[in-house]
Structure 1
């Protein structure tokens, strides 16, 4: 039981670190890259911000995948299929995050080429800008859609296991599909209501704080 509590606290710490690093990356490192004239013009002035942001995104995804791996042997006692789905989806998210960051660094490369060839037709670079930026954007949305699935699997497994107060994963079971529906709207080229992302973000934050403070506090029955 003490080992499970410690594991739960470690998972909470990993998830909270991932949340905070993700917020810093999105609203700190990325903000100047996309500000003003945009990333095509800004990239040459801040190439190292691209590198830092890409590496930080990989670290964030690694933390979430590590949390899933740590949770697997505990969650599989009551929900083996959900526990495996959580790990597999987290691994897919890690892969899609890596793909997204490769596209992000390709954006920096295009920005550097734009600065090196001022005599070329700017319209040509605008076409490339749209293509490279869209590639990164669509991978990003697929990444978030799969991430919503991983959180749904986690919350449903936690709800069944009774390892944390059940209202937290119960809220997450409802919040994850809302987030996934919002992302699906974007894939069909509809506007994304940002409020559809808030419930799952709140769930992850509250769950990570609860785990960090209390760990897994209830024993679970083993499968026969």
Structure 2
């Protein structure tokens, strides 16, 4: 079985992979996301396909973070750890739906239906891009905000990482979730200054957690001031009957 140290390194690497792939994919998607005429235009679609591949890798890395952290954090709260695993998997699934929608735009560009005019293709293309835009809000904002808080809370209670890292997640998760609510109701755009600022704490949390896990691993009871939190089952057993 993998040791906690190896699991920590694997989780840290997965977090770094999520950052690289998500930023690169968004840059590559630029033409299809911003140009309504892309679906009827000429030119290579390789950047879009490469962006889709990177988002597939992103989804795999997201699930990788959950699978590598679960064996360790479940010792400090099985129910919470299972919730994190489920939410992280849901985030990856929502992202994958967005990938499929953009690949569908690429298919229509390569092989437009017989008799379809440019106006109809643009309308369908914008609808598929809108699906991607909504998945970008639901996955990397709503669900990410929830799973970030759950994991940060486990790490804060268990002291598996320094408290300031856990606090970053406990602040960043609700903040990005609240920002998603604001975007949902049209207060500002997701790709706006306010949207970017709301994501800074989560960005800092994931980077700080990744480097901590890769360089130092998890804290242990032998570390100064570290006391492991009780497992859910142990805590339940400690409650007197009646």
Instruction: Output the TM-score relative to the length of structure 2.
Output: 0.81
SS at match of 1:186: helix
Q: What is the DSSP-based 3-state SS (H/G/I as helix, E as strand, rest coil) of the residue aligned with 1:174?
A: helix
* Structure 2 residue aligned with 1:70: 68
Runs of 4+ in structure 1 over 4 Å off: 32-38
State the 1:70 CA deviation.
1.5
Alignment-derived partner of residue 171 in structure 1? 168
Q: Partner of 2:157: helix, strand, or coil?
A: helix
- For these two proteins, the number of residue pairs brought into alignment is 219
Deviations 1:87-115 (A, max 9, x none): 0011111211211111111121233356x
Q: From 117, 135, 138, give the equivalent of 1:139.
A: 135
Q: Equivalent residue for 1:10?
A: 10
* Runs of 5+ unmatched residues, structure 1: none
| C-alpha distance in 1 between matches for 2:32 and 2:89 | 28
For 1:1-224, list aligned pairs within 5 A.
3-27=3-27, 29-34=28-33, 39-41=38-40, 44-113=42-111, 121-144=117-140, 145-192=142-189, 193-194=194-195, 195-219=197-221, 220=228, 222-223=230-231, 224=234
- What's the offset of the Cα at 1:120? 5.7
SS at match of 1:45: coil
Partner secondary structure for residue 24 of structure 2:
helix
* Distance (Å, rounded) in 2 between the aligned partners of 1:15 and 1:54: 19
User: How far has the Cα of 1:80 moved from its partner?
Assistant: 1.8
Contact residue 36 and residue 125 of structure 2 kept, 8 A: no
Report if the CA contact (8 A) 1:106-1:132 is conserved.
Answer: yes
Query: Which fold has the larger relative contact order, with Cα–Cα distance below 8 Å and residues 6 or more apart in sequence?
Result: 1
8 Å Cα contact 1:33/1:49 also seen in 2: no
| Greater gyration radius | 2
Farther off after superposition, 80-89 or 32-41: 32-41
- On the 8 A contact 1:152/1:176 being kept in 2, the answer is yes
TM-score normalised per structure 1: 0.86
> Is the alpha carbon distance of 1:24 and 1:214 closer, same or farther for their aligned partners in structure 2, counting shifts above 3 Å?
same
Cα deviation code 1:21-66 (max 9, x no counterpart): 2222223x22355466763355x52223222211211111111211
> Can you give the 5+ residue segments of structure 2 that lack an aligned partner in the other structure?
222-227, 235-242
Q: Is contact 1:148–1:177 with CA below 8 Å preserved after alignment?
A: yes
Residues 33 and 46 of structure 1 are in contact (CA less than 8 Å); yes or no, is this contact kept in structure 2?
no
2:224 aligned residue: none
- Alpha carbons 1:9, 1:216 under 8 Å: kept: no
